[in-house]
Amino acid sequence: MELDLNKFRTLVPISALYEDSLLYLAERTRVDRLGQGELLFEIGDDDPDSIFLISGELRLISDDNLSARIRAGSEEAQYALANFKPRQFKAEVTSNTATVARVPPMLLEKLLAWGQVAPDQVPEARASAAKGPGVEESEWMMTMLQTPVFLKLPSSNIQTLFSRIEPVVFTQGEVIIEMGAQGDYYYIVREGRCKVSRPAESGETTVAELGPYDSFGEEALISDATRNANVTALSDCRLMRLSKYDFLELLEEPLLNWADAQTADRLLGEGAIRVDVRLENEYQNSGLPGAVNIPLQRLRDHIPDLNRLQKYILYCDTGQRSSAGAFLLGQSGFDTYVLKGGISQRSS
């Protein structure tokens, strides 16, 4: 069902978005139509959406049977309905039909933070304000906001990151990262394709091919080690890069979950899996009970085989390699933890 953009623009805080951000959000908003007597949500529901009433009327009913009627177009309907989670009210449609918009709240918050427009600014005031980024720039940034990495970042970090990240261009066949070099930048592919490879007896082995919105280069930055692979442009590429200092400050710190021995025991009791990211001979010599061994340099290859609903506790000797591994998995949306202090923190 099509969303009424004129009504969508009046909702708070959606009204504070730049026009291109508003349209981007609208494309990712679900519209539902309900009939009289249907329940929109129940008391105790923990659904993730922010729900706005677009047309019709409904009644909010509390646990102690107090009720309030909300009609589309009213001041109350400008705001998300009973937005505290779990829901403190149930919502029942009282008109013949009602239309609601289900907005993804995390995306809305990040678009608001990125736009840097005051939430109480009315559309007329916004019209004379400074324009947002160009269409191409907006599309790239807003797509990045929905990647697993950016969804986990605090809004303040996102604002700073977009101000510090810089574009860089490579031609087909050009080496972007050379194995053995010191880590200096974290890269995100904006356009084009890249190849990750390592030397082999037959010449080289391709580890991965990367395309738009994929990223690379984090292992050396987190581990403070040299580059462990070559990255070459398979086509003319436009990349975005972030310096090591900015990467560690804005991305690594907020994205890594550290677990001490006690926390690790609790997670294991809840079904988490230990992953030893050291080399196979290291694992065979001193691997922790029940752990699986996926060496860091092969972790990217194993991502398709891992269960995204599973929690993983990564460890190594000191926490350096496991930190890099946890960040790599976190970029792909996995729920990961790093054993604080490394294998010295192992539990029985």
| Peptide bond connecting 86 to the previous residue in cis, omega within 30 degrees of 0 | yes
Residues 335 and 264 in one domain: yes
Residue type, 232: T
Residues 191 and 228 in one domain: yes
Residues 17 and 101 in one domain: yes
Residues 222 and 320 in one domain: no
- Give the residue from 251, 282, 315 where a domain finishes: 251
For residues 241 and 166, the answer to whether their CB atoms sit within 8 Å is: yes
| Peptide bond connecting 13 to the previous residue in cis, omega within 30 degrees of 0 | yes
Number of C-beta neighbours around residue 326 at 10 A: 29
Q: Which of 146-150, 177-181, 324-328 has the lowest mean pLDDT?
A: 146-150
- Those residues with Cβ within 8 angstroms of residue 133's Cβ, 6 or more apart along the chain or in another chain: 141
pLDDT band at 130 (very low <50, low <70, confident <90, very high): very low
Six token digits for residue 90: 């149930």
Residues 113 and 18 in one domain: yes
pLDDT at 137: 67
Count of domains observed in the chain: 3
Residues 264 and 240 in one domain: no
pLDDT band at 135 (very low <50, low <70, confident <90, very high): low
| CATH label of the domain that carries residue 334 | 3.40.250.10
- Is residue 37 situated within a structural domain? yes
Owning domain of residue 178: 147-251
- Is residue 141 situated within a structural domain? no
Q: Residues 96-106: pLDDT tens digits?
A: 999 999 999 87
pLDDT at 116: 47
**Among candidates 200, 146, 338, 194, which has minimal Cα distance to 261?**
338
For residues 24 and 115, the answer to whether their CB atoms sit within 8 Å is: no
Cα 310 to Cα 325: distance, rounded to the nearest angstrom? 15
Angle at 280 between CA 274 and CA 320, to 5 degrees: 60
| CATH label of the domain that carries residue 216 | 2.60.120.10
Q: Residues 285-315: pLDDT tens digits?
A: 888 989 999 998 888 889 999 999 999 999 9
- Is residue 137 situated within a structural domain? no
